[in-house]
């Protein structure tokens, strides 16, 4: 056997005073547990001033700052945001003028429309797939494919569905993001990938109409992105489609000479995935601006962010 190495001696190791060392964490940044009966503002102020809690409040400040300067706030979202019950928070931000445009995918049309029509959505896919009944809801297919035909005539897919829901006899249309956006004149664009949505298998589906309507929405979205300088772009619940749409739109508007450099982006999701991080948080803000990635469940993160934004916007003291 070889000779055992001599243990290293620490006798001459240089030390310094803890009291002179720069440190990242201080007692001022610690969270403060609260008792019952406290307000949302007190709760937000008591959060730790570290990592995601810090970023959440910083993002809320960026949204409020952008709107006070009359700069846009575009919120892009996947269908999961609707399915977990978080769409009323986006609805409220839109009504307050704190979100100036929305962008989504085709699945969001399904869930928003079904909730408006009957107050229920999201079928049991595993059970319905056995006999091929998955996605075959008659009313859903007819309404959304009618929206595609209407939207293809020049106003786009999001506007068309909003009009049909807002003017239809639907008991829960007051909860529809599409209907309220139409009523408020807030742009809501839909970015469809053919074959991904249940309405594409319905007899009423027309590929040409779907393609034309969603392409119009992409061009409208590009116009919105061309005006994003000084604004905020938030993504929640889309891992592939909407990050790609945003990246292509940003490239197109810069190619056309629009200055879109100083802006804030954020991704809110329960997983950190490549495209949202790369195409929304990092690449677009390399030259200027700032990107946030906050990991957590939408049914928790979005209400918290909504609360912080409203408190900062409406409260007497805008600082939290």
2 to 5, 6, 9, 224: CA distances (angstroms): 9, 12, 21, 71
15 inside domain: no
pLDDT value of residue 127: 80
Q: In the block, which residue shows the tokens 């001459």? A: 12
205 inside domain: yes
The CATH number that applies at residue 269 is 3.40.50.10690
In whole angstroms, give the CA distance from residue 100 to residue 228: 11
234 inside domain: yes
pLDDT mean across residues, the chain: 94
Q: Which residues of the chain have pLDDT under 70?
A: 1, 128, 135-136, 316-320
pLDDT value of residue 3: 85
**Sign of the dihedral through C-alpha 18, 23, 26, 31:** negative
Question: Based on the structure, what is the number of domains in the chain?
Answer: 1
pLDDT value of residue 319: 67
Q: In the β-sheet with 264-269, what is the strand arrangement from edge to edge?
A: 188-191, 101-105, 73-77, 232-236, 264-269, 290-295
Q: What is the pLDDT of residues 1-30, one digit of tens each?
A: 678 899 999 999 999 999 999 999 999 999
Task: Quote the tokens at residue 54.
Answer: 């810090």
Q: In the block, which residue shows the tokens 């298998």? A: 201
Eight-state DSSP code of residue 23: -
The domain in which residue 185 lies consists of 58-314
Report the percentage of the chain scoring pLDDT > 90.
85
Quick one: CA torsion of 175, 180, 186, 188, rounded to 10 degrees? 60
pLDDT value of residue 134: 74
227 inside domain: yes
160 inside domain: yes
pLDDT value of residue 257: 97
Closest C-alpha among 294, 268, 317, 267 to residue 50: 294
DSSP element (H, E) containing 313: helix 298-314
66 inside domain: yes
pLDDT value of residue 117: 93
pLDDT value of residue 75: 98
pLDDT value of residue 132: 80
40 inside domain: no
* Pure H helices in 96-233: 106-118, 125-129, 138-151, 157-166, 177-184, 207-226
136 inside domain: yes
Task: Quote the tokens at residue 79.
Answer: 């269908």
DSSP element (H, E) containing 74: strand 73-77
């Amino acid at each position: 056997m070889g000779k055992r190495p001599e243990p290293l001696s620490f006798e001459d190791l240089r030390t310094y005073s803890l009291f002179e060392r720069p440190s990242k964490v201080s007692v001022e940044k610690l969270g403060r547990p609260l008792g019952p009966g406290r307000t949302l503002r007190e709760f937000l102020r008591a959060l730790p001033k570290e990592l995601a809690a810090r970023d959440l409040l910083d993002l809320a400040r960026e949204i409020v700052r952008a709107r006070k300067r009359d700069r846009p706030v575009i919120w892009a979202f996947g269908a999961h945001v609707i399915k977990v019950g978080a769409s009323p928070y986006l609805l409220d931000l839109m009504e307050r003028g704190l979100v100036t445009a929305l962008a989504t995918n085709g699945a969001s049309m399904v869930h928003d429309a079904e909730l408006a029509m009957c107050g229920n959505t999201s079928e049991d896919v595993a059970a319905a797939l056995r006999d091929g009944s998955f996605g075959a809801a008659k009313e859903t297919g007819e309404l959304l494919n009618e929206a595609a035909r209407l939207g293809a005539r020049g106003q786009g897919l999001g506007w068309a569905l909003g009009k049909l829901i807002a003017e239809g006899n639907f008991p829960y249309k007051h909860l529809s993001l599409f209907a309220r956006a139409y009523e408020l004149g807030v742009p809501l664009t839909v970015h469809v990938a053919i074959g991904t949505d249940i309405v594409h298998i319905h007899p009423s589906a027309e590929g040409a109409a779907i393609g034309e309507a969603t392409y119009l929405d992409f061009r409208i979205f590009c116009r919105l992105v061309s005006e994003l300088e000084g604004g905020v772009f938030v993504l929640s619940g889309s891992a592939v489609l909407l990050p790609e749409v945003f990246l292509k739109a940003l490239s197109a508007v810069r190619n056309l000479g629009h200055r879109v450099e100083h802006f804030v982006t954020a991704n809110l999701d329960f997983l950190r995935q490549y495209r949202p991080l790369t195409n929304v948080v990092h690449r677009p803000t390399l030259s200027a601006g700032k990107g946030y990635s906050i990991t957590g469940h939408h049914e928790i993160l979005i209400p918290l962010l909504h609360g912080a934004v409203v408190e900062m916007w409406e409260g007497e003291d805008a600082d939290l």
